[in-house]
């Protein structure tokens, strides 16, 4: 086993996608890079786990824009992993399928902008102009976001005119049909319990990525982390697990070291944190930072986390679905007036892609957003000390979620061998994300400036990266990491390197 050195050029705290992308770029540029991960398994939201011989993905279920020439493919090609990933393209006529209450109709989001409009137009015959306006606006919004068009990106600053446009307000302006509003807003492109505050640019980034092309990882999502780590090490960088950072040392307003929980001290002139900004601040003595900055970051609202069921199915009983299935209990979901007594209001059902897979799946994952407030009573307890009341709560909520799933997939309970549960606390344990948030800090179109996080802090040599900066999702997190690395090596220089790799 390799031992840590006492000094590096750059230390990266956290081995999520953001940290690994920064690690790859900077080690490729010749910096001595050390990535420190507190958990035994690297990868952050890319992590997987195995139960009864079956692999389950935890945070990544599908990715977009991975056809040659598309945005994520361009980045992954530069990282040297695009042609090594095992991916399966989801159904082109409906990569996401959406349903509502007792409505028997399945509303499909198709790949390709023309097909997307054509597919929904067949269900909403009078709405072609509104659907065309919707897709035109998505593409217009994307063009205003740097790094979605690398050839013309001069900097990474988002156009202020884009930040305060609200997605739901725009969608409602297209049509007088609430059901069409909700079909366009559905499939996790809007914040749970804050759909009316979701910025249009975030909605557009997510929807555009999948309309371009939608893919599912084959066998496991942690292959992305594994390939990046392999390339980082080839370039001389190092990745250490079971290495939790306790403190970031600062002298004369400049970082100079980290202290691990086991007492190790490692020095560096630059430190990048891939963990939640509020968690990062707790690693720094409060007298080293402005009180106003600490207060702002600590009070930012986080997106909700997931309650997830991981099902192991009886042989040949549940079909493999080459799409993601989103269900909403009613149209009330899009009014932001949600209460735990009505939970669950929605679910995503996902069947993983496995090599050599036939008609049926052996596992199913079911995810539903859930408020964090009910978990606060256990948040400061170690996982093995949360007690029977925590287990009883999980069981109660599992049955409520399965009740809703049964409405769309009758008889699914009888097809289950056993299931496992994760909650926002599980997510918090393994990713250090505040409140087990699924997408980190909530971006608010009604107060956009407050939640913008810049990669370079006021402390010399301290940088932030990850999904909390400006854009969520695998593509957004990749873009955020490229921006962070560009603060160190130069923006246009890095963009040219990425383009030259094509």
Q: Nearest-CA neighbor of 241 among 462, 2, 485?
A: 2
Residue 1: is its pLDDT beyond 70? no
What is residue 98's predicted lDDT score, i.e. its pLDDT?
98
- In angstroms, the Cα distances linking 380 to 273, 297, 362, 386, 430 are 23, 21, 35, 9, 14
Q: Using CB atoms within 10 Å of the CB of residue 13, give its burial: 0 to 12 exposed, 13 to 18 middle, 19+ buried.
A: buried
Rounded (5°) CA angle 4-6-10: 85
Picking from 202, 226, 97, the residue whose alpha carbon sits closest to that of residue 141 is: 202
Crossing angle between the packed helical segments 71-78 and 200-212, to the nearest 10 degrees:
80
Task: Quote the pLDDT of residue 354.
Answer: 96
Question: Minimal CA–CA distance to 338: which of 370, 307, 366?
Answer: 370
Closest CA relative to residue 70, chosen from 274, 242, 241, 214: 214
- Please provide the CATH number assigned to the domain covering 7-52+61-66+74-82+221-300+443-500: 3.50.50.60
**What mean pLDDT do residues 248-255 have?**
94
Whether the pLDDT of residue 160 is over 80: the answer is: no
Q: What is the overall mean pLDDT for the chain?
A: 94
- In this structure, are strands 265-273 and 363-370 parallel, antiparallel, or unpaired? unpaired
Calculate mean pLDDT across residues 351-379: 94
Select the more confidently predicted residue: 318 or 374.
318
Distance CA 110, CA 89 (A): 12
- Calpha distance 422→215 (Å, rounded): 24
pLDDT over 90 (residue 248):
yes
Residue with tokens 């010749």: 30
Each residue's pLDDT tens digit, 183-221: 999 998 999 999 999 999 999 999 999 999 999 999 999
Report pTM: 0.95
- Predicted pLDDT of residue 100: 97
Taking only the tens place, the pLDDT of each residue in 465-499 is 999 988 888 999 999 999 999 999 999 999 999 99
pLDDT at 172 > cutoff 80: yes
Do residues 26 and 10 make contact, with C-beta atoms less than 8 angstroms apart? yes
Least confident piece of the model among 105-114, 152-161, 417-426: 152-161
Whose CA is closest to 425, among 387, 374, 375? 375
Q: What is the tens place of the pLDDT at every residue in 121-152?
A: 999 999 999 999 999 999 999 988 888 878 77
CB 462 within 8 A of CB 271: yes
- Alpha carbon distance 29, 235 (integer Å): 9
The H or E element that residue 382 is part of is: none
Give the position of tokens 């137009």: 121
User: In which residue ranges of the chain is CATH 3.50.50.60 found?
Assistant: 7-52+61-66+74-82+221-300+443-500
Q: Within its chain, how far is the Cα of 68 from the centroid? A: 22
Confidence category of residue 298, pLDDT binned at 50, 70, 90: confident
Of all residues in the chain, the percent with pLDDT exceeding 90 is: 81
Name every residue whose Cβ is closer than 8 Å to that of residue 486 and which is 6 or more positions away in sequence: 156, 493, 494, 495
User: Please, which residues bridge with residue 422 across strands?
Assistant: 308
Taking CA atoms, 441 is separated from 285, 288, 297, 438, in Å, by 22, 23, 9, 9
Geometric angle at alpha carbon 60, from 56 and 66, rounded to 5°: 125
Across residues 346-371, what is the average pLDDT? 95
Q: Give residue 361's pLDDT band: very low, low, confident or very high (50, 70, 90).
A: very high
H helical segments located in 186-340: 200-212, 222-234, 277-281, 291-299
Cα–Cα distance between 404 and 1 in angstroms, integer? Answer: 48
Distance separating alpha carbons of residues 425 and 277, to the nearest angstrom: 18
Closest CA to 468 of 459, 458, 479: 479
Establish whether the linkage from the previous residue to 424 is cis, with ω within 30° of 0.
Answer: no
């Amino acid at each position: 086993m390799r031992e840590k050195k006492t000094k590096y050029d750059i230390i990266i705290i956290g081995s999520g996608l953001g940290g690994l992308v920064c690690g790859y770029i900077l080690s490729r540029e010749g910096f001595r890079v050390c990535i420190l991960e507190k958990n035994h398994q690297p990868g952050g939201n890319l992590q997987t786990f195995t139960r009864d011989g079956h692999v389950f993905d935890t945070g990544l279920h599908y990715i977009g824009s991975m056809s040659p020439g598309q945005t994520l493919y361009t980045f992954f090609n530069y990282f040297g992993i695009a042609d090594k990933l095992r991916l399966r393209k989801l159904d082109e006529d409906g990569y996401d399928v959406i349903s509502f209450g007792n409505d028997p109709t399945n509303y499909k989001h198709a790949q390709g902008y023309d097909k997307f409009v054509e597919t929904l137009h067949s269900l909403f015959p009078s709405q072609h102009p509104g659907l065309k306006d919707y897709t035109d606006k998505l593409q217009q919004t994307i063009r205003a976001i740097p790094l979605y068009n690398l050839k013309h990106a001069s900097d990474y600053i988002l156009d202020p005119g884009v930040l305060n446009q609200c997605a739901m307000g725009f969608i409602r302006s297209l049509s007088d049909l609430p059901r069409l509003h909700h079909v366009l807003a559905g499939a996790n492109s809007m914040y749970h319990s804050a759909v009316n505050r979701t910025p249009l640019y975030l909605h557009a980034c997510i929807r555009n990525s999948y309309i371009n092309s939608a893919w599912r990882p084959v066998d496991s999502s942690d292959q992305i982390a594994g390939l990046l780590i392999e390339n980082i090490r080839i370039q001389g960088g190092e990745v250490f697990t079971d290495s939790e950072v306790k403190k970031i040392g600062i002298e004369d307003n400049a970082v100079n070291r980290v202290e691990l929980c086991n007492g190790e001290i490692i020095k560096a002139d630059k430190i990048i944190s891939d963990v939640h900004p509020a968690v990062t601040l707790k690693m720094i003595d409060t007298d080293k930072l402005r009180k106003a900055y600490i207060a702002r970051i600590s009070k930012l609202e986080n997106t909700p986390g997931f309650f997830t069921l991981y099902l192991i199915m009886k042989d040949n009983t549940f079909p493999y679905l080459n799409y993601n299935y989103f269900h909403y209990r009613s149209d009330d979901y899009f009014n932001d007036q949600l209460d735990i007594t009505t939970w669950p209001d929605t679910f995503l059902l996902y069947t993983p892609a496995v090599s050599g897979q036939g008609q049926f799946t052996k596992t199913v994952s079911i995810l539903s957003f859930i408020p964090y407030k009910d978990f606060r009573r256990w948040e400061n307890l170690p996982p093995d000390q949360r007690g029977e009341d925590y287990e009883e709560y999980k069981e109660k909520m599992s049955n409520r979620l399965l009740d809703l799933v049964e409405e769309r997939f009758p008889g699914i309970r009888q097809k289950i061998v056993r299931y496992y549960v994760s909650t926002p606390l599980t997510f918090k344990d393994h990713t250090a994300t505040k409140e087990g948030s699924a997408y980190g800090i909530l971006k608010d179109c009604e107060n956009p400036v407050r939640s913008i996080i810049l990669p370079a802090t006021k402390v010399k040599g301290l940088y932030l990266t990850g999904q909390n900066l400006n854009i969520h999702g695998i593509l957004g997190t990749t873009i955020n990491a490229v921006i962070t690395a560009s603060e160190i090596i130069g923006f246009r220089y890095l963009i040219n390197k990425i383009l030259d790799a094509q």
